[in-house]
Chains A and B, each alone.
Chain A
């Protein structure tokens, strides 16, 4: 049945595509290599939700040398996904990003240690792995605020450094590395993990869709259409998880990502959990409170040439 449904939807979308005389071409870059984190966009593309609104979306993933943010800046992409912290950081540095949809409603950021840790203070003197590409600001802020001294070790990716015990602890995403660690047979005890969503001032929502202020100004309709079709994609994923996984696995295989379906399935469950959160809300426009909290976190922990606060209203495009 599900395949028949897929075929019908695909056929309809194909029909729609041929009907639409002028499809607007759009390049979209998720912020990481293919995985279930981006299932909603893959589904919207595969099922023709973008086509339906007149968008011809090409999904181009970043690579090890060029990040999604860089692709946006170089105008290689029209839309990208970014963490809220990254986006605000960029704006504070003079960037002009516009948030057009906030998918994540809470933080999926965590820290795992070989030894059990009851509180942040227990990390004192530890060697902690962090992504060289970033995403660690929340952890830095939380640890620095407690006056705890740690040694930060930059790593590229993955969990091998942690598992080889070259580091005492490692930053992880609840929807990715934490799951991988479990999947290697490492038995994770709950008191080995700190979830930043449970730490005061650190529950910063993550993924959102961004575009440049210029693009948003010139293509307000496109922004709106892309936002709506992406929401539609995610809503479909929620109801059709197995089919969504089929689509994810196609992407994963085509880009030769070393992963497996079980991992992607677990990732999808966690991502959807982070989207809906405990409040039960989803796909709201980023709240000003979350925006201010994130900006405050940055201003308190980073040094900016211009410390003028960015305005929420400028940041949001609906």
Chain B
């Protein structure tokens, strides 16, 4: 079945053959039914005619007998009592009518007193054809009670007796003889043999296997193929014995109709075979003849015709099927090849040859379309390949550009370990590979120069503008202190060569580390946020055009002063205009509230981290649409004191360290115990450096700086020796003896015991150890 469904040619062929078959079958059935009816009608006519012929033949003969007997009555009555004459008339009756087998006169008991109870002359034709007279009647043969005598006498009319056997099958025709008063005094009879009649009926065969039976008035068989049934069985006893697959009701009804001397036809089933039965009576004697013909016989010609027609049809259908199948297959075979070719094309082989089509039909058009498709496909793919290559190249270049761009930004925080007053952190997250945002800062002459900017657009053009601006800022800020002037200079430089009509917003600030005063100017940049006393506000910014818009624009400075409790957040619009999936903006309001929620004592680093986290929470899964840049500046506690000592890497120099600390203690009025402890810790730390930092080297310098920052003594010991982080050394196991303990372990333990905080950094190829003591 699967194959049939798959093959168009087989399927179509089956459809066509099915339709043809249906049409033909319908017309044949109609024809067959009409033909059957007319054949049946013809059969009825034929059987009717044959039956009519036979019944009229029989009737004629019986009529002849009846007439002959009636003709004999008058002479017999006239010669009543003249026995010889009566016998002569009787003999004449037989001799003149060959069909009459015997004839008798029979009288009532003692009608002729001289003849006694019985008087019955009987003339019979013997086997040789001789006519002989017999005298019947007597105690052994009391004819008065016999059917042929009794019934017509009682009925007082002529009567054909029920056929009976008396050597041969016969029937007796009896006419009553009456006296002058009309009383029955005797009868005259004629016997006829029924053998000829039996033959006549049995031989009636309208069709090959037809058969005919004749039944008597009382239903007994008079004629039947099976002669053993004659007079033994009635039509009803016999047919009752037919098999179950016979139409008993119809057969019974047929018998009753025959007994009623009707004529007609009916259809009956005998042992599963349908028969057409035609019946007609022989009224004179009360007999009835039925012929039964097998339907299959009657319709045999029709059936053989049907067989031939169906055979021809079957042959024709096979031929139609083969033809249609072949034609459709021929038409559709290129389709199969096209399917194969398409599969190959789908694998990427666009130049695979297509099947040749010689016709100019739809399949040819299909091929043309296929050829065009092949060309378009290969062109498209070529283009796609070169585009992909170009993109790959740009992408790799962009990667490099990103690296370069990020390299331009200062990334070490805190940027100036030797500027302990400033806490600063910045971040830049580009939306694409290269961004248009920038930030920068540097320290010059006790001032922190910082800037943040946002070039218009994104990607490479913005990045280029940002790079230009960044380097310009560095070079201009080298010799200009005033942010407004720096902006003015930058604007002129950018606008002069700004053919691309790009611009960049920029915020520049200069922080005086000593005073905490910030002088700043903005070129169309977002106003930074100041967090002071738990309250976030935008600082005042003079409205101005961004850089690159036009030459000769002057900018205005503003200033604020911050202290160590303030936090300044400078950012680009990538922060306030960050979008979530619902296209909501992060907004200025959110920035302020989020900033207020961050603890004021957080350092710059964690401040930046908190803000980044806040943006990430808001944006959620949405793609970042713009560069996000933040710069957080805090001022540390005021430094009230600063001292520095530089010694050589010699043990003898430790004396100088001791003097340095004692003088520090004197100056600040420290408790002698604190001075001693400080001395102990510092000696321990510095002696370690002297002993181990410069193997085999002499004359190297060790710097010891001390500042008092907000009630805290901070010692910074830096050397350019071998990298060594004493804080990572194993904590000393003080349960061991001094000899057993490794280098440094005990020293750092001692320092930690005395001091409040110890930290190590490797900065610019220097070991920087910072130890703090709260005052």
> A65-B140, A156-B145, A164-B159 are contacts. A183–B237 as well, Cβ < 8 Å?
yes
In the complex, A263 has a CB within 8 A of chain B: yes
Q: Which of A65, A166, A185, A262 contacts B150 (CB 8 A)?
A: A166
Q: Are B145 and A164 in contact, with the CB atoms below 8 A? A: no
A156 to B, closest residue via Cβ? B145
Check if B351 is an interface residue, CB within 8 A of chain A.
no
Q: How far is the CA of A52 from the CA of B481 in the complex (A)?
A: 162
Contact indicator A154/B234 (Cβ below 8 Å):
no
Q: Evaluate contact between A64 and B140: CB separation under 8 angstroms.
A: yes
Residue of B234, B238, B256, B259 with highest tally of chain A CB at under 10 A: B234
Q: A259-B232, A260-B232, A262-B237 are in contact. Are A166 and B151 (CB under 8 A)?
A: yes
Q: Determine whether the beta carbon of B256 is less than 8 Å from that of A185.
A: yes
Is A155 engaged at the interface, CB distance under 8 Å to the other chain?
yes
Q: Is the CB of B145 within 8 A of A154?
A: yes
Chain B residues within CB distance 8 Å of chain A: 139-140, 142, 145-147, 150-151, 154-155, 159, 161-162, 165, 217-220, 229, 231-238, 240-241, 255-256, 259
Given the complex, which residues of A lie within 8 Å of B259, measured CB to CB? 185
Interchain CB contact under 8 A, B154 and A185 = no
Distance of A187 from chain B, by nearest CB (Å): 8
Give CA–CA (A166, B174) in the complex, Å: 14
Given A185-B255, A185-B256, does the pair A262, B241 have CB atoms closer than 8 Å?
A: yes
Is A115 among interface residues, defined by CB-CB distance under 8 A?
A: no
The residue that A183 contacts in the complex, of B151, B161, B165, B236, with Cβ under 8 A, is B236
Chain A residues with CB below 8 A from B231, complex form: 258
Q: Give the residues in chain A near B255, CB-CB below 8 Å.
A: 185
CB neighbours of A165 from chain B (8 A): 155
Instruction: Kindly list the 7 A-B residue pairs having the minimum CB-CB distance in the complex, ordered from nearest.
Output: A166-B154, A260-B233, A262-B237, A184-B218, A184-B219, A166-B151, A185-B219
Contact yes or no, A166 B155, CB < 8 A? yes
Contacts of B234 in A (CB 8 A): 183-185, 260
Contacts A160-B162, A163-B218, A185-B256 aside, 14 further interface pairs with beta carbons under 8 A come to A132-B145, A153-B154, A155-B150, A156-B142, A160-B151, A164-B147, A164-B155, A165-B155, A183-B237, A185-B255, A185-B259, A256-B165, A259-B232, A262-B241
Q: Which residues of A from 156 to 191 have beta carbons under 8 Å from B?
A: 156, 158-161, 163-167, 183-185
* A73 on the B face (CB < 8 A): no
Determine chain A's interface SS by DSSP, over half rule. loop
Bound form: Cα–Cα A153–B153 in Å = 12
> A155 to B218, Cβ gap below 8 A?
no
Interface residues on A, range: 20 to 34
Number of A-B contacts (CB under 8 A): 74
Q: Is the CB of B146 within 8 A of A164?
A: no
Could you show 10 A-B contacts with beta carbons less than 8 Å apart? A155-B145, A160-B147, A161-B150, A184-B218, A185-B219, A256-B165, A258-B165, A259-B232, A260-B238, A263-B237
* CB-defined contacts of A167 to chain B, threshold 8 Å: 154
A224 contacts partner chain B, Cβ-Cβ < 8 Å: no
> Counting chain B CB atoms within 10 Å of each CB, which of A127, A164, A262 scores highest?
A164
- CB-nearest residue of chain A to B286: A164
Instruction: Select from chain A the residue with minimum beta-carbon distance to B138.
Output: A65
Contact of A161 among B147, B219, B238, B256 (CB under 8 A): B147
Across the interface, which residues of A come within 8 angstroms of B238, CB to CB? 260, 262
- A126: min CB distance to chain B, Å: 13
Bound-complex Cα distance A117 to B226 (A)? 40
In the bound complex, how far is the Cα of B145 from the Cα of A64, in angstroms? Answer: 12
Residue of B nearest to A182 (CB): B236
Most buried by B among A64, A163, A260, A262: A260
Tell me the bound Cα distance from A94 to B241 in angstroms: 49
In the assembled complex, how far is the CB of residue A133 from the closest CB belonging to chain B, in whole angstroms?
A: 10
| Known A160-B218, A164-B155; contact A185-B236, beta-carbon cutoff 8 A | yes
Select from chain A the residue with minimum beta-carbon distance to B143.
A156
Contact in complex: B235, A185 (CB < 8 Å)? yes
- Report A15-45 CB contacts with B as 1/0, cut-off 8 Å: 0000000000000000000000000000000
Q: How far is the CA of A262 from the CA of B237 in the complex (A)?
A: 6
Q: How far is the CA of A253 from the CA of B151 in the complex (A)?
A: 28
Closest residue of B by beta carbon distance from A252: B232
